[in-house]
Structure 1
């Protein structure tokens, strides 16, 4: 298809298609004389780029994702991307805050090392040199309460790092063993439909999305349900260990 036809099919302007090619996100068209022609692989990749852009991803981030996506799987990834935005699992809106305002709760200024820790742990997105977007304002409010109790800032950061490390492991298990398996089944249905020259039944897509919607609170709630029990067990175990040591 021509670039104009590709634009009509995907809703992406001709100008943006060429910009994506210049940025290295899309391969050039196959030339037939002086005419550039695009195929279904170009279309699938462009649809994925379009969906990721609509979700707020920058071109640099999209390029990194595309490099990790298997060749020929663009349409399947685009289908899954349509179902779940970057905020599918998020339960609260991000909040911007200056670093000095965050550190003021500890009556101090944040050191370069502490800023680096915030930028690295995944819950704070740097915006310039002196501002962060907090992806979990509720967790920040907990940090403030710990500050009121006299807990040092570095200790709070240590606790956050530990929390992120272990919850990330839990999240990875849920994604790989539950969500990703289901997403792959949907991608396979899409591939089979494409071979037949048809599309996936919209009812299948909607039922899959509804199932994900039901699983989301269960995955999040399971952590909240288990943690108090484990916390009590660890507290009791530590107290017994201390008493035995004395």
Structure 2
């Protein structure tokens, strides 16, 4: 959210005030000797816009800054938490998931979180190499050319990353190959898009449960434990991040494999139920 804007009449009044102006330097010494930053300095140091910093504060993800007159100052704790939020957002986490992770975590544990999250790139959980493709070619396997609405659905469902006006990066080339095979079976494009939307919705719901109840729960417990054991003022141990990464690497195939293992059973059950239901309704 944008910050508040001082009305013109107040700005002119402020210029004639006898109060001392804010320090010209971005960093000043706080009461305990730690360097403080203005919001502009914090934005420059973390790469997060001033607008997003204030939006995270409004959302309750960051504590309010320390006020010195009319100037707000942020400390290392703000920076650590903001860097964590930034990294998780870049990895695709929604604000609700980030808030769940930060909830009830002891103050000071953000450095552990930032250290660990820095090891997980946007491809940590993926098993395929993305491929580029023109949007105009994405529905070329169907006999009827795709409409603008269908092309928009193809490129806006979360499985594609826009990289140009008519180009996307396919995050799951294997899923596109399945779509091509469905086209060869004369399955209409709209039906394929409907199936894909349902697949994404239900997969996202499953992934959210795994992330919040397994991965983030383990991360929270480990980071909080490490913060309790870390002497005040000492940097977090890099081995903590390596331990968590090793644990996540073991959990990753288990989470993905559990979905693959359960789906054939559920598919068979749903097929049997639908057939039995259709047989009961059939005239005799």
Do the structures match in fold with TM over 0.5? yes
Task: Report what 2:184 is aligned to.
Answer: 148
Task: Report what 1:163 is aligned to.
Answer: 199
| Inter-partner Cα distance in structure 2 for 1:19 and 1:181 | 27
- CA offsets 1:143-171 (integer angstroms, 9 cap, x no match): 00000110011000011011111111111
Deviates more, 1:140-149 or 1:224-233: 224-233
Q: Does 1:17 align with 2:45?
A: yes
Task: Report what 1:93 is aligned to.
Answer: 129
| Aligned 8 A contact 1:123 1:135 in 2 | yes
Which of 160, 181, 185 is the aligned partner of 2:221?
185
Question: How many angstroms does 1:48 deviate by?
Answer: 4.1
What is the TM-score when the length of structure 1 is the normalising length?
0.74
Q: Which runs of 5+ in 2 are unaligned?
A: 1-24, 28-33, 35-41, 58-64
| Inter-partner Cα distance in structure 2 for 1:184 and 1:173 | 15
Could you say if the C-alpha distance between residues 197 and 86 of structure 1 is closer, same or farther in structure 2, counting changes exceeding 3 Å? same
Q: Which runs of 5+ in 1 are unaligned?
A: 7-13
| Aligned 8 A contact 2:133 2:167 in 1 | yes
| Aligned 8 A contact 2:133 2:170 in 1 | yes
Larger RCO of the pair (alpha carbons < 8 Å, separation 6+): 2
Deviates more, 1:123-132 or 1:227-236: 123-132
Deviates more, 1:189-198 or 1:209-218: 189-198
Could you say if the C-alpha distance between residues 142 and 183 of structure 1 is closer, same or farther in structure 2, counting changes exceeding 3 Å? same
Task: Report what 2:76 is aligned to.
Answer: 40
Task: Report what 2:9 is aligned to.
Answer: none
Task: Report what 1:211 is aligned to.
Answer: 247
- CA offsets 1:190-243 (integer angstroms, 9 cap, x no match): 432556333444444322221111110011011111111111111111111111
| Inter-partner Cα distance in structure 1 for 2:216 and 2:257 | 19
Name whichever structure is richer in helix by fraction: 1
Deviates more, 1:123-132 or 1:199-208: 199-208
CA RMSD in angstroms comes to: 4.0
Q: Does 1:232 align with 2:264?
A: no
Task: Report what 2:143 is aligned to.
Answer: 107
Task: Report what 2:167 is aligned to.
Answer: 131
Task: Report what 1:11 is aligned to.
Answer: none
Could you say if the C-alpha distance between residues 24 and 200 of structure 1 is closer, same or farther in structure 2, counting changes exceeding 3 Å? closer
What is the TM-score when the length of structure 2 is the normalising length?
0.66
**Secondary structure of the structure 1 residue equivalent to 2:133:** strand
